[in-house]
Amino acid sequence: MAATQVIRSEWTKIRSVASTVWTLSLAAVVTIALGMLISALSKNEFGSMGPRERLSFDPTFVSFAGMTLGQLAMIVFGVLVVSNEYSTGMIRTSLAAVPRRGAFLASKVAVATGLALVVGMATGFAAFFLGQAMLGPQLRTTLDAPGVLRAVVGGGLYMTLIAVFSMGVAVMLRSPMLSLGVLMPFFFLVSNILANVSATRKVGQYLPDQAGSRIMRVLPRVGDDTPYGPWGGLGIMVLWVIAALAGGYALLRRRDA
């Protein structure tokens, strides 16, 4: 089967499954809505903040406060794109139609990444502009301020990479329940604990979400000793994504459907 036909087939699969469309929509809505809410609350609480908190107040990063829950939906999207075929048994038909497993996986990842990127970028810009509107003229920043455009674009890239990393894990684990059972605690419990406990902070700094989220910061937190910058953090996250996809490909090649 030609590459264009494989890509068209993967596009049809993703588009025809309602759950994947809904999860992408939910990722955008949750990220934007929660970002607006946190921005409005931050505006009301700014007057009562101490000098240290004001120094590290980052209006751009506040706009992305909803990313914590928005990435949950992107994780689910990444898992469903892969695991739906395993849970329904359609993976056997797909691999029979596309016996070159590298081409099969590459096409699936390419289509899902493209969709996630479009949604992620639209969400990043919408969250920024609406969040700044909630902050008001005294606190808000503008897109042409130093580092802001990089942070907004980075927000879209971060959401995309979360979805692609989840796809790699799902290819390795095959089961949607097992994949979500690993990814959810990893991102929402293990990562936060390791990053906030002094004994493990240096390890936590190199986890994919902790490193990748640096791209969305314009102002560093007071006392932040992270040994890499925004693009360095995103680079670390890209390495995690490559590792997950490589692991998924290796297992896909070696085992039966």
Model confidence pLDDT, tens digit, residues 143-192: 999 999 999 999 999 999 999 999 999 999 988 899 999 999 999 889 98
Q: What is the pLDDT of residues 230-257, one digit of tens each?
A: 999 999 999 999 999 999 999 888 876 5
Please report which confidence band the pLDDT of residue 2 belongs to, taking 50, 70 and 90 as the band edges: low
CA distance 120 to 122: 6
Structure tokens at 35: 């970002």
What are the boundaries of each domain within the chain?
A: 3-254
The per-residue pLDDT for 58 is 92
Q: SS3 helix, strand, coil % of the chain, rounded to 5?
A: 80, 0, 20
Reported pTM = 0.92
- Tell me the per-residue pLDDT of 117-139, one tens digit each, with 9 for 90 and over: 999 999 999 999 999 999 998 88
The rounded mean pLDDT for the chain is: 89
* Residue 68 confidence (pLDDT) above 60: yes
